[in-house]
Amino acid sequence: MPLITLGLSGSLNHDPSAALFIDGKLIAAAEEERFIRDKHAKGKMPLEATRFCLDYAGISADQIDIVAVPYAEIDLSTAARWHYAKRYWYAPDRALDALFNGNRRYRRYVGYIKSMCETVGIDWDKIQFESVEHHLAHASSAYHLSGFKEKTAIMGIDGKGEYATTFFGYGENGKIHKIKEFYDPDSLGGVYGAMTEYLGFEMLDGEFKVMGMAPYGDPDKYDFSRLIALEETSNGLEFKVNTKLVNVIGTRRYKENGQGYYFSPKLIDWLGPKREGDEIDDPYIDYAASMQKLFEEISLKLMDYYLGDIIKETGKIAFAGGAALNVKLNQKIIARDEVKELFVQPAASDAGTAIGAATYAIVARGIELEKMEHVFLGPEFTNEECISACEHYKTEDGRAVKFEQINEVPKTIAKILADGNPVSWFQGRMEFGPRALGGRSILGCPSVPGVADRINEQIKFRERWRPFCPSMLDTVAPIMLKTDHPAPFMTFTFEVNDGWAERVPEVVHEDGTARAHAVKESVNPRYYALLKEVEVLTGNGVVLNTSLNRRGEPVVCTPEDALNMFYGSDLQYFIMQDILVTKERCN
């Protein structure tokens, strides 16, 4: 009988998800936010995501063998809880709780998981329950799905798990070994998140906006080194966050209109008022640049210290945790001469820990996992279902949806794009993770001047300075980019070769880089065919690609979601499988 494993995340109160494996094959995975239409689904459990995974796989609840979660008990004999208590001495209620009731959140979480499993019909007494340390789940999600057979350096950076915030280790012969962990409040992700809040964005959501803002500023104009102290001690290279400024709790928090932030009034005294609004202006663009520089410098120094010898030995790195989505850091990593390949888990945030917990449990039982080649793991819909959605949908003014079924989808859509029109592209299975990779995308022709501004202002309703990414034929990638490093998941930025900023200006960022997505025909044949048709018409096998959602909303999941997004924006063209929906007649 095959081993059926269900991984469930949501332990840290955000980004709940579910992933289902049959033996070593990942069959389905999805984030709860997509089903309940609540971005990050904070405070929720992955109920609908679990139901989807079971339904898609044709698995009944009583067939589940293992339920694995990315949160575990942390013993008082370890350094983690003592470190937390010592560093948060100024908040004695928190410090004492860590020492005397330090697994309270774990016990509560297991209760939530048990209740949810019973709701979907999983008999708790008949399954094997596996709790995996949060950072081991991150590590497993990257290492065990990387396909690397050599000894592999593993890095994990996020806000925090149970107590750990940063992980360095290695994988060898399928087993993960710890080298070094850092504990809350000493968190690189936490500092970046606190500064994200100061710069006017939401923590756990806006960090990539800070990263996108940074190239507009001068990273050397302000010295942010006071935020994090880095020094070599008898215990190795250590970093310590300045909790007088950031990663603060309790009475040290800056408060505004009743809301507390993870920075202190002393940060305001130093840098001035918290940023408000959507514009990127002085001094905040320079603050963003300085934060990005500090984050990169300390991450790379720690990586070199703890993983340098392993990287020099084999050149392979696996990276996960929310900070692994910092594509600028990733660019710096792969630029190292000793790095042969960096695998970043495409769902690197906590959503991906559902995969990580499951893979850790599976490997522990001697089963080999398949390499992750794609993230098309969510729901898909037939032409008939798309037509039914169109027939039953009514616009706000009561009009029926205008649609037709077409035969040559790639050719037709390529012509619409080449004529300068953005297109909503809804094809096949929904992606798992934050990146649109040709399943749920808004597309544009990157050689058409102003198409990025149009999508930002009239369709996505987001900040005008936000960059867009190129999807390109895998044959174009080594010509356009100054590297031959794999780029299947839009997790890296690369410098573009001379002339390409002029050829596809709408997808080259302020600093001359592009967050590239190289498309293989074997992974997404329809999207590949579209790119080929665009190449015929424009000379560039490249499209502008951004996720199919509006600001503050999750990526669309169903045809109904996509129609809501389409009619709530200035998009004129929407292709859903073979069904073309228009607000005006195609030329």
In order, the DSSP letters of 237-304 are EEEEE-TTTBS--GGGS-EETTEE-SB-HHHHHHH-SPP-SS---TTHHHHHHHHHHHHHHHHHHHHH
What residue type is assigned to position 426 of the chain? F
Angle at 504 between CA 503 and CA 507, to 5 degrees: 155
Q: How confident is the model at residue 380, as a pLDDT? A: 98
Q: Mapped to the 3 state alphabet, what secondary structure does 410-474 carry?
A: HHHHHHHHHCCCCEEEECCCCECCCCCCCCEEEEECCCCCCHHHHHHHHHHCCCCCCCCEEEEEC
Chain segment 541-568, per-residue pLDDT in tens: 999 999 999 989 999 999 999 999 999 9
* Average pLDDT value over all residues in the chain: 96
Domain 152-344 is classified in which CATH homologous superfamily?
Answer: ATPase, nucleotide binding domain (3.30.420.40)
Largest Cα separation within the chain, whole Å, is 72
DSSP 564: H
Mean per-residue pLDDT, 575-585: 90
* Residue 122 parent element (H or E): none
Q: How confident is the model at residue 464, as a pLDDT? A: 67
Query: For the chain, what is the total number of helices (H) and then of strands (E)?
Result: 19, 24
Residue 398: band (very low, low, confident or very high) from pLDDT cuts 50, 70, 90: confident
Mean per-residue pLDDT, 444-468: 87
Mean per-residue pLDDT, 203-227: 95
Cα Rg, the chain, nearest whole Å: 23
Q: Taking Cα atoms as reference points, which of 56, 34, 55, 57 lies closest to residue 46?
A: 34
Confidence check: pLDDT of 535 > 70: yes
Cα gap 221→209, rounded to integer Å? 20
Mean per-residue pLDDT, 197-208: 94
Chain segment 366-384, per-residue pLDDT in tens: 999 999 999 999 999 999 9
Q: How confident is the model at residue 461, as a pLDDT? A: 79
Question: What is the CATH number assigned to the segment(s) 4-145+351-364?
Answer: 3.30.420.40
Q: How confident is the model at residue 586, as a pLDDT? A: 43
Strands 4-8 and 17-22, bridge-based pairing: antiparallel
Q: Taking Cα atoms as reference points, which of 147, 187, 149 lies closest to residue 166?
A: 187
Confidence check: pLDDT of 431 > 70: yes
DSSP 313: H
DSSP 504: S
Q: Taking Cα atoms as reference points, which of 349, 352, 372, 359 lies closest to residue 486?
A: 372
What's the predicted TM-score (pTM) here?
A: 0.96
- Whether 439 and 374 have beta carbons less than 8 Å apart is answered as no
Chain segment 268-317, per-residue pLDDT in tens: 999 999 999 887 788 999 999 999 999 999 999 999 999 999 999 999 99
Mean per-residue pLDDT, 176-190: 98
Q: How many CB atoms lie within 10 A of CB 356?
A: 33
Sign of torsion, CA 130 136 137 139?
Answer: negative
Q: How confident is the model at residue 82, as a pLDDT? A: 98
Domains 4-145+351-364 and 152-344 share a fold: yes
Q: Mapped to the 3 state alphabet, what secondary structure does 355-420 carry?
A: HHHHHHHHHHCCCCCCCCCCCECCCCCCHHHHHHHHHHCECCCCCECCEEECCCHHHHHHHHHHCC
Confidence check: pLDDT of 585 > 60: no
Q: Which stretches within 63-178 are classed as H helix?
A: 79-87, 92-100, 104-120, 134-143
CATH assignment of 383-582, given 3.40.50.300, 3.90.870.20, 3.20.20.10, 3.40.50.1360? 3.90.870.20
Structure tokens given for 583: 């607000």
Q: Is 500 helix (H, G, I), strand (E, B) or coil?
A: helix
Backbone angles phi, psi at 282, to 5 degrees: -70, 145
In the chain, % of residues over pLDDT 70: 99
The full set of domain ranges for the chain reads 4-145+351-364, 152-344, 383-582
Confidence check: pLDDT of 584 > 70: no
Q: How many CB atoms lie within 10 A of CB 57?
A: 16
Residue 94: band (very low, low, confident or very high) from pLDDT cuts 50, 70, 90: very high
Q: Greater confidence, 584 or 246? A: 246
Cα gap 246→472, rounded to integer Å? 40
DSSP 76: T
